[in-house]
């Protein structure tokens, strides 16, 4: 059984906790606001919200270093703003820069769809999460992905990073395929907000990933 924390400094954390509480493999789902709470959990979700605010509050609460430490070895999933914080590199930051936790060898571009569309929902095929339907006329049981002032993964900087979902869309007249979900070892990142839908398959995927990577670590130790 897995103890999961959700970083609760700002943003959409309650929704993540509600979904986690429904999953049979999760024995504890708690908000994390300090190092004591962080030390209770095996895995962490960093929610969507405003990445600059989350980083600022984390710094003020003395959580920045403990979080960096956690992310280095323990399963962590960043959604939207959380994905920005898990990136090693971010473009389109305001002056003064932005504190990151890092861990994922990706470059993220903030507010990618911002100027055109603020938020939208798109059906996505996600590797290992959505499955091709057996008979249903060759369609996927697609995941309803909600994007809100979403960042995108503009560059993959290591072969260890596995792309698990792309969004096919158009920019003007040209078709584009943008990376919106990746996995690298014990780290997971999605540009969208799976906690805002009733679909818990993405959470289930993260819990399995976490149990698997913690199991491996125990064997090595």
In the complex, the residues that contact ligand GLN under the rule CB under 6 A are 48-51, 80-81, 84, 110-111, 148-149, 151
- Do residues 76 and 45 touch, judged by C-beta distance below 8 A? yes
Minimum CB–partner distance for residue 134 and ligand GLN (Å): 35
Query: Is 46 a known ligand-binding residue?
Result: no
Pick the closer one to ligand GLN by CB: 65 or 118. Answer: 118
- Please state the separation of Cα 75 from the chain's center in Å: 11
Measure the CA–CA gap between 193 and 13, rounded to whole angstroms. 11
Pick the closer one to ligand GLN by CB: 91 or 131. Answer: 91
Point out the residues that are catalytic: 80, 193, 195
Query: Is 201 a known ligand-binding residue?
Result: no
- Do residues 94 and 52 touch, judged by C-beta distance below 8 A? yes
Measure the CA–CA gap between 49 and 35, rounded to whole angstroms. 21
Pick the closer one to ligand GLN by CB: 32 or 191. Answer: 191
Minimum CB–partner distance for residue 211 and ligand GLN (Å): 26
Measure the CA–CA gap between 58 and 71, rounded to whole angstroms. 14
Minimum CB–partner distance for residue 121 and ligand GLN (Å): 13
Query: Is 17 a known ligand-binding residue?
Result: no
Query: Is 215 a known ligand-binding residue?
Result: no
Query: Is 50 a known ligand-binding residue?
Result: yes
- Do residues 108 and 151 touch, judged by C-beta distance below 8 A? yes
Residues 6+ apart with CB under 8 A from 220: none
Residues 6+ apart with CB under 8 A from 205: 126, 128, 129, 188
Minimum CB–partner distance for residue 1 and ligand GLN (Å): 29
Pick the closer one to ligand GLN by CB: 52 or 213. Answer: 52
> Which residues fall in the annotated binding site?
49-51, 110, 148-149
> Which residues fall in the annotated binding site for L-glutamine?
49-51, 110, 148-149
């Amino acid at each position: 059984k897995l103890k999961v924390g959700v970083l609760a400094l700002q943003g959409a954390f309650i929704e993540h906790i509600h979904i986690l509480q429904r999953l049979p493999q999760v024995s504890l789902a708690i908000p994390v606001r300090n190092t004591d709470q962080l030390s209770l959990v095996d895995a962490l979700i960093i929610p969507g919200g405003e990445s600059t605010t989350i980083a600022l509050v984390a710094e003020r609460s003395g959580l920045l270093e403990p979080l960096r430490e956690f992310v280095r070895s323990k399963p962590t999933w960043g959604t939207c703003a959380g994905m920005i914080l898990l990136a090693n590199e971010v473009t389109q930051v305001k002056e003064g820069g932005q504190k990151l936790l890092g861990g994922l060898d990706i470059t993220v571009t903030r507010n990618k769809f911002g100027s055109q569309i603020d938020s939208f929902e798109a059906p996505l095929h996600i590797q290992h999460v959505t499955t091709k339907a057996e008979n249903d006329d060759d369609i996927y049981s697609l995941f309803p992905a909600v994007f809100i002032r979403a960042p995108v993964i503009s560059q993959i900087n290591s072969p260890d990073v596995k792309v698990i979902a792309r969004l096919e869309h158009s920019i003007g007249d040209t078709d584009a395929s943008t990376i919106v979900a990746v996995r690298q070892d014990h780290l997971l990142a999605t540009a969208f907000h799976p906690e805002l839908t009733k679909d818990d398959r993405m959470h289930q995927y993260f819990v399995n990933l976490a149990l698997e990577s913690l199991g491996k670590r125990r064997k090595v130790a």
